[in-house]
Structure formats: structure tokens, C-alpha cells
Amino acid sequence: MAKKLYKSNTDSYIDGVCGGIAEYFGIDSTLVRLGLIVFCFMGGSGILAYIIAMCIMPEAPGGKKKKKKRKEEYYEEHDNYEEDEDEPYGNGPRPQ
């Protein structure tokens, strides 16, 4: 069975294009992102290539993209953090 190029469900910042390319070639996604930045500074071809890839690359089968949690959502899910009006940092340790 041949490998297919898909957008990444798990390793994405904007749309999962760089993560998908990294998964396809078996390399670190940071290297792909750095390569994209280099192409962006070389006449802007990286931006155009990324937009084209966003349009033509299919979503990976078998799941939705993982949504990154905001800080507020994280604290709502964890019971050990409670906001207190008198204490601006909640009940946790105070920053130094």
C-alpha cells in the first residue's frame, strides 16, 4: 500500500500542512517549518506554496484535528484551581 500525503491531525499550528509533510517523509516537523520560513524570505515563494498546499492537501482520515486548549479551558477542567477574589493568583503557589 502506498503512502499518501495528508494534513496532520496532531502536529499542526495553522492547518497541519508542515506536520503532514513531516509525517510523510519521516522527519521532524520543525525542520519542515524552518524550510518554509527560508522559502518565505527568498521572494515569498513559501507563502504561496503553503496556501496552495492548504487548498489541495486532504485532511487525514480517522479523526478531527486536536484543538489546542486555552488556559481558561485548562483550569476549568482541573478542580484543584479555584479563582479567589482576594488572592489574584488563585490557591496555587505564588510566582516569585
pLDDT digits (tens, 9 = 90+) for 1-20: 688 888 888 877 888 888 88
* pLDDT tens string 16-49: 888 889 988 999 989 999 998 888 888 888 888 8
What is the predicted pLDDT for the residue at 11? 79
Rounded CA separation 18/14 (Å)? 9
Residue-number span of the structural domain to which 27 is assigned: 17-77
Burial of 5 (0-12, 13-18, 19+ CB in 10 A): middle
The closest alpha carbon to 40, from 79, 6, 14, belongs to: 14
pLDDT at position 59: 86
Q: For residue 82, is it within any domain?
A: no
Q: How confident is the model at residue 76 (pLDDT cuts 50, 70, 90)?
A: low
What's the grid cell of residue 85?
Answer: 477574589
Cell numbers 520543525 correspond to: 30
Q: Is residue 72 part of a domain?
A: yes
The tally of domains found in the chain comes to 1
pLDDT at residue 8 in the model: 84
Task: Please say whether the beta carbons of 16 and 9 come within 8 A.
Answer: yes
